[in-house]
Homo-oligomer: A and B are copies of this chain.
Amino acid sequence: MQQRAIITRQNIVNAASQVFVEHGFAAANIADVTSIAGITKGAMYFHFKSKEDLARAVIDEQQATYDALQAEMLGKDLSAFDTMIEISYGICALIKGNALFYASMRIAVELGVYGDPISKTYAEWGAPVAALVAQAIDDGDIRSTVDPEAFASFVISAFTGIQTVSMVYSNLEDLDGRIMAMWDILLPGMVTDKKRLELAEQTPRAIS
């Protein structure tokens, strides 16, 4: 694609994210997307043939953004445990910084209800978390009684719900605080005695 076409396409995806955040999928109006993006119907049709195409593009870009965050965090050479925690706050920053994540969640919820394969997006989010938990168990930071897949599935659900509630209460202002509260509640039951002592030294309030 030419540079201009790439910019237009990105512009459309950003506009679609805003519209999906506000209205969800079913009530979203393509005319609102073209209006926010400041483009003609023809330009829209050149890039996207349907609302489903737009939804897929939003979810794909959200996934690409998440993959980039994950790659960045894995490149920092932190422990698996610290990587897991850092990624959770990294996602908070991404969610607050652009509409892609909240839009993707709304779309996944709505289309999932109708059995669309887009609902598989939750599984894609869970696998890297399970891998980090398994590694943190090997590292002796998380207790071997924790089931990596079950934990990953739960924490993705919890994160989804926290995002929902934070949006309702504070328009995402309190998202980081709610994620911090989540770790305060989850970590005491998950970590090994060795890690518990380490955390108590680092962050007295994070674990008790």
Interface, chain A (partner B; CB < 8 A) = 21-24, 26-27, 108-110, 112-113, 119, 122, 145-146, 150-151, 153-154, 156-165, 167-169, 178, 181-182, 184-190, 208
The residue of chain B having its C-beta at the shortest distance from the C-beta of A112 within the complex is B168
Q: Can you give 25 contacting A-B residue pairs, CB < 8 Å?
A: A21-B113, A22-B113, A24-B27, A26-B26, A27-B27, A109-B168, A112-B168, A112-B169, A145-B208, A150-B185, A153-B165, A154-B158, A154-B178, A156-B165, A157-B161, A157-B165, A157-B178, A160-B160, A160-B161, A160-B164, A161-B163, A185-B189, A185-B190, A186-B189, A189-B189
Complex CA gap A190/B190 in Å reads 11
B169 engages A165 (CB within 8 Å): no
Complex CA gap A156/B150 in Å reads 19
- As for how many copies of this chain the complex holds, the number is 2
Q: If the complex has contacts A112-B167, A113-B167, are A181 and B161 also in contact, measured as CB distance less than 8 A?
A: no
The residue of chain B having its C-beta at the shortest distance from the C-beta of A188 within the complex is B189
Q: If the complex has contacts A109-B164, A159-B161, are A181 and B122 also in contact, measured as CB distance less than 8 A?
A: no
